[in-house]
Amino acid sequence: MKNAGSSILARAVAYAPTVLLISVALVQIWCAIGDGRLTPAKGGGFGLFSTVDKLNNRHVRVYVRSARTGQETPFDVSAAMLNELRLPAWSVKAFPTDARLRSFARQVDLRATRAPDRAMRVEVGKMTFDAQANEARFVPVADAVLLEADE
Amino acid sequence: MSSAPQRLPALWASIQHADAIDMACRLTLILPAVSEWVVGEAWLYKAPLRVLAIAGLVVPGLHRSRLLWTVLAAIMAAKTLDNWWLQDNHVFLLTYWMIALALALHLPAPHQPLRTCARLLVGWAFAFATLWKVGLSPDFMSGSYFHYTFVTDARFFDLAEILGGVEPEVLRRNLAAIDRLFTGDTAVAELGAPMTVGLLARCATWWTVGIEAAIAVTFLWPENRGPSRLRDLALLTFGATTYLVASVWTFGWTLLTLGMCQVDPARARVRVAYLALLVLVLVYDLVPIGGIAKSLLGG
Q: What band does B178 get if pLDDT is binned at 50, 70 and 90?
A: very high
Residue-level pLDDT at B142: 94
For residue A24, tell me if it sits in a domain.
Answer: no
Interface contact B85-A49, CB threshold 8 A:
no
For residue A96, tell me if it sits in a domain.
Answer: yes
Percent of chain B with pLDDT over 90: 74
For residues A31, A53, B144 and B293, what is the CA-based torsion angle, rounded to 10 degrees? -130
State the distance between the two ends of chain A, measured CA to CA, in whole angstroms. Answer: 60
Distance (Å) from the C-alpha of residue A114 to the closest C-alpha of chain B? Answer: 22
> Choosing among B89, B171, B245, which should be mutated to test the A contact, i.e. which has the most A CBs within 10 A?
B89
Interface contact B103-A94, CB threshold 8 A:
no
User: How confident is the model over A51-88, as pLDDT tens digits?
Assistant: 999 999 999 998 888 877 878 888 877 777 777 888 88
Which residue would you say has higher pLDDT here, B98 or B192? B98
Whether the per-residue pLDDT at B4 is higher than 60: the answer is no
Pick from A18, A42, A49: CB nearest B85: A42
User: How confident is the model over B70-86, as pLDDT tens digits?
Assistant: 999 999 999 999 989 99
Whether the per-residue pLDDT at A114 is higher than 70: the answer is no
Interface contact B189-A137, CB threshold 8 A:
yes
For residue A26, tell me if it sits in a domain.
Answer: no
d(CA B203, CA B166): 16
For residue A2, tell me if it sits in a domain.
Answer: no
Beta strand residue intervals within A43-117, DSSP E? 58-66, 72-74
pTM of the model: 0.92
Interface contact A94-B143, CB threshold 8 A:
no
Residues of B in contact with A99 (CB under 8 A): none
Interface contact A21-B93, CB threshold 8 A:
yes
User: How confident is the model over B9-37, as pLDDT tens digits?
Assistant: 777 777 778 888 999 999 999 999 999 98
CA–chain centroid gap for B37, Å, is 13
Whether the per-residue pLDDT at A1 is higher than 70: the answer is no
d(CA B85, CA B92): 11
> In the predicted model, what is the mean pLDDT of residues B157-163?
88
Which chain A residue has the Cα nearest residue B131? A47
Residue-level pLDDT at A67: 73
Pick from A21, A130, A135: CB nearest B124: A21
Range of the domain at A127: 55-150
Domain boundaries along the sequence of chain B:
19-106
The length of chain A is 151
- CB contacts < 8 A, A to B, total 173
Give the 3-state secondary structure of residue A97.
coil
What 3 state SS string does chain B have? CCCHHHHHHHHHHHHHHCCHHHHHHHHHHHHHHHCHHHHCCCHHHHHHHHHHHHHHHHCCCHHHCHHHHHHHHHHHHHHHHCCHHHCCHHHHHHHHHHHHHHHHCCCCCCHHHHHHHHHHHHHHHHHHHHHHHHHHCCCCCCCHHHHHHHHHCHHHHHHHHHCCCCCHHHHHHHHHHHHHHHHCCCCEEECCCCHHHHHHHHHHHHHHHHHHHHHHHHHHCCCCCHHHHHHHHHHHHHHHHHHHHCCCHHHHHHHHHHHHHCCCCCCHHHHHHHHHHHHHHHHHHHCCHHHHHHHHCCC
Report the domain count for chain A: 1
Interface contact A13-B144, CB threshold 8 A:
no
Average pLDDT, chain B: 92
